Amino acid sequence: QKEVEQNSGPLSVPEGAIASLNCTYSDRGSQSFFWYRQYSGKSPELIMFIYSNGDKEDGRFTAQLNKASQYVSLLIRDSQPSDSATYLCATHNDMRFGAGTRLTVKP
Amino acid sequence: DAGVIQSPRHEVTEMGQEVTLRCKPISGHDYLFWYRQTMMRGLELLIYFNNNVPIDDSGMPEDRFSAKMPNASFSTLKIQPSEPRDSAVYFCASTFGGSEAFFGQGTRLTVV
B1-20 mean pLDDT: 95
Name which of B42, B45, B105 is nearest A95 (Cβ-Cβ).
B45
CA distance B5 to A58: 29
CB contact under 8 A, A92 and B101: no
CA distance B7 to B106: 8
R_g of chain A computed on alpha carbons: 13
Query: What is the per-residue pLDDT for A9?
Result: 81
The residues on A that touch B, with CB distances below 8 Å, are: 1, 8, 34, 43-46, 49, 88, 90, 92-100
Query: What is the per-residue pLDDT for A1?
Result: 58
* pLDDT (tens digit per residue) in A25-65: 988 888 899 999 999 999 999 999 999 889 999 999 999 99
Residues of B in contact with A96 (CB under 8 A): 45
Tell me, what amino acid is at A11?
L
CB contact under 8 A, B43 and A88: yes
A86-107 mean pLDDT: 93
- Whether residue B71 is predicted with pLDDT greater than 80 in this model: the reply is yes
Q: Does B49 touch chain A (CB under 8 A)?
A: no
Do the Cβ atoms of B95 and B31 come closer than 8 Å?
yes
CB contact under 8 A, A97 and B56: no
Closest Cα in chain B to A86: B42
CA distance B40 to B12: 20
CB contact under 8 A, A94 and B103: no
End-to-end CA distance of chain B: 36
Instruction: List Cβ neighbours of B53 (8 Å cut-off, separation of 6 or more).
Output: B69
